[in-house]
Amino acid sequence: RDGGDLDLDASLDAIADGRASGVIDAERLRMRGWVRPGTGLCLLVDRSGSMGGKPLATAALAAAAVASRSPDDYSVLAFGKDVVVAKGQTTPKPNDMVVTDVLSLRGFGTTDLAGALRVAGDQLARSRAGRKVTVLLSDCRATVDGDPVAAAGCLDGTRKIAPESDSEEAEAFCRRTGATLTTISGPSQVAEALSAALSR
């Protein structure tokens, strides 16, 4: 039969009877179907002073793209000095409310990149998906004490999306952590960049 692997435990009686009679009744065999594990996503949005203006629209579009790609298993975190959970990994919240909350963010303050990556790990630990990915929208200028490289090392997969015109520190961060980097010139490219980043 097609459609999965033979479930030996559930098929033992049919196999035993088949051995005794010399003919196995295929209708009594039980199959175990396999479902491809989903992807749990965590979107980290830098809301520090260096990320005001156009990056806000980029963040809102990224939140909408993440919500549509993985509607049941995603989180959105905004970080500066502190980390704000705009949407928890397993907490239901309408997509439009998530986008509205992201649009209400204002860029200010310092950047605790290490702290944000640790909270991303906490959120993704709640996911039951087979693949867990952190998408980081930031210029990666950490201005708060901490070790973002070590924090990123605790995550399964990190994808970095940075402004094309300001990607030097993001490139250095990716080299040190093994994260993949995609650069964009503006908000209109974020959905395509997200798809490209998640296909790796």
The larger pLDDT score, comparing residue 118 to residue 104, is at 118
CATH class of the domain at 39-198? alpha beta
Contact present, 111 and 82 (Cβ < 8 Å): no
pLDDT in the model for residue 57:
81
What's the rounded Cα separation, in Å, for the pair 76 and 64? 10
Residues 68-75, mean pLDDT to the nearest whole number: 86
SS3 189: helix
53 pLDDT higher than 70: no
Domain boundaries, the chain: 1-34, 39-198
Band (167; pLDDT cuts 50, 70, 90): confident
What's the rounded Cα separation, in Å, for the pair 168 and 191? 22
pLDDT in the model for residue 52:
56
Q: Which of 34-38, 76-80, 193-197 has the highest mean pLDDT?
A: 76-80
> What are the start-end ranges of the E strands in the chain?
5-6, 31-32, 39-46, 74-79, 83-87, 131-137, 157-163, 180-184
pLDDT in the model for residue 2:
44
- Taking only the tens place, the pLDDT of each residue in 119-163 is 999 999 999 998 899 999 988 888 888 898 899 988 888 898 888
Angle at 138 between CA 82 and CA 180, to 5 degrees: 125
Residues 62-89, mean pLDDT to the nearest whole number: 90
DSSP 17: H
Band (6; pLDDT cuts 50, 70, 90): low
What's the distance, CA 45 to chain centroid? 12
What's the rounded Cα separation, in Å, for the pair 122 and 63? 19
pLDDT in the model for residue 89:
96
Residues 59-67, mean pLDDT to the nearest whole number: 88
How many distinct helices (H) and strands (E) make up the chain? 7, 8
Angle at 72 between CA 68 and CA 73, to 5 degrees: 100
